[in-house]
């Protein structure tokens, strides 16, 4: 049953009470593909990627991740969450645990990895994100950029096949954005399947295979970065791009 599709969204609809937040969303993501999602605030970008690891529940349509369909079955949800890592806008590191403990928690309790092994792997990833010497510190002692890199390392420690990013740089001071983007570019080059909500257009141009534009809960446009930035098809995309590239 192995095929090349990592994520499949088929006719997904979601409502918050009366509010129709996702309207008939269809999306196919292949293994190793890197997708950037952009769109105005409130257009449903976060909601869509949060449906992929079931932080939000969709009400209609199918979501298939790594050949497992997301249903109410806790087993499927557990399995998918183990394969899908997520990085949040506000890092969400556990403040009562050291950087190293943050990284070891899930491997030890979910994957049942011995501590020594978990720590070894964690140090490897902390080295990849270039903060191994902060391992014994607490998140509160790190800068925003460092915290976000720890959050990326923490996700990677679970050895996921897919990574979701929800505006990973928008809570950061400008001088820290680059260090996080560099980490993400490295990750992209290693062949990870990535879905990334971001307004960093430079990042989109460098690494994305496809760029998606969402508005009003719909996927309005989906294209290669070249086409997307140089020949946007829809009026709304053009408007959005002119606003975002204006400054």
Partner 1 sequence: MANATPQAAPSKPSLWNDPQKRGILIQVLVLAAIFAFFGFIFYNTLSNYAQRGISTGFGFLNNTAGFGISQTLIPYQESDNYWQVFKVGLLNTLLVAGLGIVTATILGFIVGVARLSKNWLLSTSAAVYIETFRNIPVLLQIVFLYALLLKILPSAKESYSFAEAVFVNKRGFYVPEPIPQAGFDWTIWAFVLAVALVIVLRWIARKVQEKTGQQWPMFWIGVALIIGAPLVTYFMTGRPLEWSLPVLKGFNFQGGIRVIPELVVLWIALSVYTAAFIAEIVRSGIQSVSHGQTEAANALGLRHNQTLKLVVIPQAMRVIIPQLTSQYLNLTKNTSLATAIAYPDLVAVFAGTTLNQSGQAIEIIFMTMMFYLSVSLLISLFMNWYNNKMALVER
Ligand X SMILES: Nc1ncnc2c1ncn2[C@@H]1O[C@H](COP(=O)(O)OP(=O)(O)O)[C@@H](O)[C@H]1O
Contacting residues toward ligand X, per CB under 6 A: 16, 19, 21, 39, 41-47
Select the residue interacting with partner 1 from 5, 68, 108, 185 (CB under 8 A). Answer: 108
Closest CA to 12 of 23, 1, 4: 23
Calculate the dihedral angle through the C-alpha atoms of 136, 141, 143, 149, rounding to the nearest 10 degrees: 30
Q: Which helix (H) or strand (E) holds 19?
A: strand 19-30
Shortest spacing between CB 170 and partner 1, in angstroms: 15
Q: Which positions ≥6 away from 193 have C-beta within 8 Å? A: 6, 7, 29, 30, 31, 32, 33, 34, 161, 162, 163
- Note whether 173 binds partner 1 by CB under 8 A: no
Q: What distance in Å separates the CA atoms of residue 121 and residue 118, rounded to the nearest whole number?
A: 5
- Total residues at interface with partner 1 (CB under 8 A): 35
Q: What distance in Å separates the CA atoms of residue 53 and residue 89, rounded to the nearest whole number?
A: 16
Shortest spacing between CB 178 and ligand X, in angstroms: 23
- Note whether 205 binds partner 1 by CB under 8 A: no
- Note whether 85 binds partner 1 by CB under 8 A: yes
- Note whether 198 binds Mg ion by CB under 5 A: no
Burial of 17 (0-12, 13-18, 19+ CB in 10 A): exposed
Residue 87 or 222 having the CB closest to partner 1: 87
> In the stretch 35-64, what mask flags binding to Mg ion with x, by CB under 5 A?
-----------x------------------
Binding site for partner 1 (CB under 8 A): 53, 55, 78, 81-82, 84-86, 88, 90, 92-96, 105-106, 108-117, 137-138, 140-141, 151, 154-155, 158
């Amino acid at each position: 049953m192995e095929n090349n599709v990592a994520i499949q969204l088929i006719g997904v609809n979601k409502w918050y009470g009366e509010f129709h937040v996702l309207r008939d969303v269809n999306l196919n993501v292949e293994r190793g593909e890197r997708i950037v999602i952009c769109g105005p605030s409130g257009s449903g970008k976060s909601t869509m990627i949060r449906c992929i690891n079931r932080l939000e529940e969709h009400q209609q349509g199918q979501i298939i991740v790594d050949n497992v369909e997301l249903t109410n079955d806790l087993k499927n949800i557990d399995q998918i969450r183990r394969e899908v890592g997520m990085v949040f806008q506000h890092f969400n590191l556990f403040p009562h645990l050291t950087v190293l403990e943050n990284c070891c928690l899930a491997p030890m309790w979910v994957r049942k990895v011995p501590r020594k092994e978990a720590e070894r792997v964690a140090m490897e990833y902390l080295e990849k994100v270039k903060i191994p010497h902060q391992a014994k510190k607490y998140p509160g002692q790190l800068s925003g950029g460092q915290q976000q890199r720890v959050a990326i390392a923490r996700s990677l420690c679970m050895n996921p096949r897919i990574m979701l990013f929800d505006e990973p740089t928008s809570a950061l001071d400008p001088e820290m954005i680059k260090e996080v983007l560099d980490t993400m570019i490295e990750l992209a080059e290693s062949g990870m399947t990535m879905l990334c909500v971001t307004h960093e257009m430079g990042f989109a141009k460098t690494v994305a295979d496809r760029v998606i534009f969402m508005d009003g809960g719909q996927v309005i446009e989906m294209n290669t970065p070249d086409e997307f930035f140089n020949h946007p098809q829809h009026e709304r995309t053009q408007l959005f791009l002119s606003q975002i590239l204006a400054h």
